[in-house]
């Protein structure tokens, strides 16, 4: 996809497009397609459709150095993008990148692109991108395929049918599923991001770089060639695929230990503990799930009996909070006798004051 061009549709909409052109070296017969982007999946899809168009696979594919195919352009040691390398291995062809800054080594495909731009694009109207590709395919099979090529002095389509078609490698019986590989980083929330969607991986790998392999239906995550997670492919931006076991223990506890679980555990401790947890969940503003979980966790350190006594003392002081119960246990106040609250109030506070006047209502 070496060339970018704006495509004007019949409704007046202008869209940015790219040409993908694959030209066979012997016959000069070509496959061409107009696409919207240069993403890896677009690049692989164009290859597959080109091979299906020719009815076979060439032994070697000479390409320019787009980022979707070559991650490091170099004269001696180019690096092939992992997705493209897997695709080439599956179809059984060799990738031969053009040397960088040497346009003479890619003349056939460059000439094919220029020929399409100058002979197909002018004075054409397109209703949509699909209509543009339909017209392009008809043009390739008629005008372009039956012209007398300037170099071979033969018709490309005739040379292809008579000779080159029979030396191409056979296509696989079942079309291969296209897969895109990407390096991703596992964030602190135990999720990686791919195409604006999020997928979970084990929390032990947080902050590490992983490999993600995405097909049309699944997403696989690898660490040192070991499969550590697999999810169904998401399409809606912002959506999450989360496996509970991938979360750290404290996050799993928060999810699993819901209010119903907390109340059931509090009943096993005692009535005061149940009242304390009820009071936390009845708060009109705060979500006290963590406070309830923390209160019940104190049982492991201090035991059920002391926790029950601490909850009773917190209730006596009308302060059934996690920090209150924790301080009572830390200071050993739960073992002290319960405070006595006298309900009777002395006469001096219940009687009339010396200078108090009685108010009388006036009815009219």
Q: What confidence tier does 68 reach under pLDDT thresholds 50, 70, 90?
A: confident
Residue with tokens 């694009």: 121
The H or E element containing residue 87 is: helix 82-91
**Backbone phi, psi, residue 234, to 5°:** -100, 155
The answer to which of 135-139, 193-197, 332-336 has the lowest mean pLDDT is 332-336
The residue ranking higher by pLDDT, 241 or 67, is: 241
Mean pLDDT in residue range 265-283: 91
- Quick check: helix, strand or coil at residue 149? coil
Tell me the fold of 3-167.
Answer: Nucleotidyltransferase; domain 5 (3.30.420)
The predicted pLDDT at position 351 comes to: 55
- Beta strands at 70-72 and 209-214: parallel, antiparallel or unpaired: unpaired
The span from the CA of 100 to the CA of 279, in Å, is 72
343 pLDDT band (50/70/90 cuts)?
Answer: low
State the pLDDT at residue 104. Answer: 62
Contact 205, 221 (CB under 8 A): no
Q: What 8-state DSSP symbol labels residue 226?
A: E
Return the pLDDT at 247.
Answer: 84
Phi then psi for residue 228, to 5 deg, are -110, -15
Q: pLDDT of 344-360, one tens digit each?
A: 555 555 555 555 565 55
Q: Residue 64: pLDDT band by 50, 70, 90 thresholds?
A: confident
Length of the chain: 364
CA pair distance 103, 228, nearest whole angstrom: 44
Residue 219 confidence (pLDDT): 96
Q: Which of 18-32, 212-226, 250-264 has the lowest mean pLDDT?
A: 250-264
Which residues sit opposite 152 in a β-bridge?
A: none
In the chain, where the domains are located: 3-167, 180-247, 257-335
Residue 189 pLDDT > 80, yes or no? yes
pLDDT above 70: percentage of residues in the chain:
85
Strand ranges (E), 110-261:
180-185, 191-194, 197-200, 209-214, 218-223, 226-232, 240-241
Question: Could you give the C-alpha distances from 256 to 63, 191, 289, in angstroms and in order?
Answer: 53, 19, 11
């Amino acid at each position: 996809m070496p060339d970018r061009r704006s495509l004007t549709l019949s409704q007046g909409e202008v869209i940015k497009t790219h040409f993908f052109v694959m030209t066979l070296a012997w016959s000069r017969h070509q496959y061409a397609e107009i696409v919207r982007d240069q993403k890896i999946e677009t690049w692989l899809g164009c290859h597959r459709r080109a091979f299906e168009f020719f009815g076979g696979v060439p032994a070697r594919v000479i390409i320019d150095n787009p980022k979707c195919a070559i991650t490091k352009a170099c004269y001696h040691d180019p690096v092939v993008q992992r997705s493209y390398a897997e695709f080439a291995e599956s179809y059984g062809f060799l990738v031969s990148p053009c040397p960088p800054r040497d346009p003479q080594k890619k003349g056939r495909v460059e000439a094919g692109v220029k020929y399409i731009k100058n002979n197909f694009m002018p004075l054409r109207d397109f209703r949509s991108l699909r209509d543009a590709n339909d017209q392009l395919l008809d043009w390739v099979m008629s005008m372009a395929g039956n012209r007398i090529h300037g170099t071979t002095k033969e018709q490309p389509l005739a040379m292809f049918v008579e000779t080159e078609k029979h030396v191409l490698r056979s296509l696989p019986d079942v079309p291969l599923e296209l897969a895109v590989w990407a390096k991703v980083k596992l964030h602190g929330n135990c999720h990686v991001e791919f195409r604006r969607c999020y997928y979970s991986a084990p929390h032990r790998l947080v902050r590490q770089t992983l490999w993600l392999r995405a097909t049309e239906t699944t997403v696989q995550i690898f660490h040192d060639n070991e499969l550590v997670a697999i999810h169904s492919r998401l399409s809606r931006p912002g959506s999450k695929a989360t496996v509970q076991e991938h979360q750290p223990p404290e996050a799993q506890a928060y999810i699993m230990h819901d209010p119903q679980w907390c109340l059931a555990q509090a009943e096993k401790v005692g009535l005061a503990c149940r009242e304390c947890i009820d009071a936390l969940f009845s708060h009109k503003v705060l979500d006290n799930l963590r406070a309830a979980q923390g209160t019940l966790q104190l049982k492991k350190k201090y035991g059920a009996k002391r926790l029950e006594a601490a909850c009773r003392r917190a209730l006596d002081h009308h302060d059934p909070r996690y920090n209150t119960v924790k301080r009572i246990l830390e200071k050993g106040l739960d073992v002290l006798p319960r405070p006595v609250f006298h309900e009777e109030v002395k006469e001096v506070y219940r009687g009339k004051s010396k200078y108090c006047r009685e108010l009388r209502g006036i009815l009219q």
